Amino acid sequence: MVVASPAPINKTKAMRIPTIDLSMERSQLSQTVVKACEDYGFFKVVNHNVPHEVTARLEEECAEFFAKPSHQKRRAGPANPFGYGFTNIGPNGDMGDLEYLLLHADPLSIAQRSPTIAHDSTKFSVVVNDFVEVVKEVTCEILDLVVEGLGVSDKFALSSLIRDVHSDSVLRINHYPPLKVKSKGNKNSIGFGAHSDPQILTIMRSNDVGGLQIYTREGFWIPVPPDPTQFFVMVGDVLQVMTNGKFMSVRHRALTNTLEARMSMMYFAAPPLDWWITPLPKTLSPPQNQSLYKPFTWGQYKEATYTLRLGDSRLDLFKAQ
């Protein structure tokens, strides 16, 4: 049975968020990336070279979309599997105080969906594609550092999966409007419940409004101070398997507040659907010579993910006996 792991709502603690300067000297950089993935499964990257205008243009296009009346936004939905969604997350009853756009990162898919989202669909497509292209580059750079830091001989073992034309990566823009009803003593509500991301790596950027929290191995929720100029990186379940548990995917959640709207944009980097997920060679060495997981394709994992609830520990289904 897959059970959601207990994550106390209010046990929060302040912590310095691990921050990695991508302009650091390379050999030191790859070790620092591996250490952050091992210790937290989460870090912030600075000096990432993503032009501010690319992010700002996507933010502007999405703000314009979310400002439309509900009946117009619904024409871009339901998010099943892609498009506009609100309140419901996934197909199994998970809910949050948010609305969102979920898009496949493939340019053709973006172009096909854009007419339901924006009046100037060509402009929308170009803006989304530009963003996807630059965040994909940062993601691949980080994955190359991971592989180098782990000592894997195939230098592009992970980034080649993301660059593959059949990569199943997706883009999600979440909009958390300010809460209307203030219940006494509770200024926050759950915008997006606790979960880990199923893919390889997630790269996230938000506006200047806080809300993201990560869950530490010590059992605390750590609020992540927003930083619209930088990106945050999260290890996903597939990278946990590909490092044979050396890295662990990070549980996280988003709270909403009564004052300001939060908008976050996430690129979820995934392999092609038919790619077999198995540990990278270097991660199968003493003391852990055996894979902790049964082999499975990304498509099989994704299917299992969609049969479960948001907070379930999906990897339990794939543990080796």
Mutual angle of helices 107-117 and 121-150, in 10-degree steps: 140
* Residue 94 binds to ligand GA4 (criterion: CB under 6 A): yes
Name beta bridge partners: 113: none
Burial 32-63 (b: 16+ CB within 10 A, else e): bbbebbeebbbbbbeebebeeebbebbbebbe
Q: CA nearest 109: which of 85, 90, 132?
A: 132
Shortest separation between residue 235's beta carbon and ligand GA4, angstroms: 13
- Reading the block at residue 152, the tokens are 């894997």
* Residue 310 binds to ligand GA4 (criterion: CB under 6 A): yes
* The binder of ligand GA4 chosen from 57, 104, 136, 195 (CB under 6 A): 195
Active-site annotation holder among 113, 172, 205, 262: 262
* Residue 237 binds to ligand GA4 (criterion: CB under 6 A): no
Shortest separation between residue 306's beta carbon and ligand GA4, angstroms: 5
Q: In angstroms, what CA-CA distances link 268 with 2, 203, 235?
A: 23, 7, 10
Interface pattern 97-136 for ligand GA4 (x via CB under 6 A): -----x----------------------------------
Q: CA–CA separation, 135 vs 154, rounded Å?
A: 22
262 an active-site residue? Answer: yes
* Residue 92 binds to ligand GA4 (criterion: CB under 6 A): yes
Interface pattern 43-82 for ligand GA4 (x via CB under 6 A): ----------------------------------------
* Residue 211 binds to ligand GA4 (criterion: CB under 6 A): no
Q: Which stretch binds ligand GA4 (CB under 6 A): 108-116, 190-198, 250-258, 272-280?
A: 190-198
* Residue 101 burial class via C-beta count within 10 angstroms: exposed 0-12, middle 13-18, buried 19 and up: buried
For residues 172 and 205, which CB has a smaller minimum distance to ligand GA4 in the complex?
172
Shortest separation between residue 78's beta carbon and ligand GA4, angstroms: 11
Shortest separation between residue 47's beta carbon and ligand GA4, angstroms: 27
Assess contact for 256 and 98: CB atoms under 8 A.
yes
Q: Which stretch binds ligand GA4 (CB under 6 A): 3-11, 86-94, 120-128, 254-262?
A: 86-94
Preceding peptide of 81 cis, ω within 30° = yes
For residues 48 and 302, which CB has a smaller minimum distance to ligand GA4 in the complex?
302
Q: Where are the beta strands (DSSP E) in the chain?
A: 19-21, 42-46, 83-89, 94-104, 170-176, 188-195, 201-206, 212-215, 221-223, 231-235, 252-257, 262-269, 276-277, 296-297
* Residue 306 binds to ligand GA4 (criterion: CB under 6 A): yes
Assess contact for 231 and 45: CB atoms under 8 A.
yes
* The binder of ligand GA4 chosen from 268, 275, 293, 298 (CB under 6 A): 268
DSSP assigned state of 193? E
- Residues noted as catalytic: 262
Contacts with ligand GA4 by CB under 6 A lie at 89-90, 92, 94, 102, 170, 172, 195, 197-198, 268, 305-306, 309-310
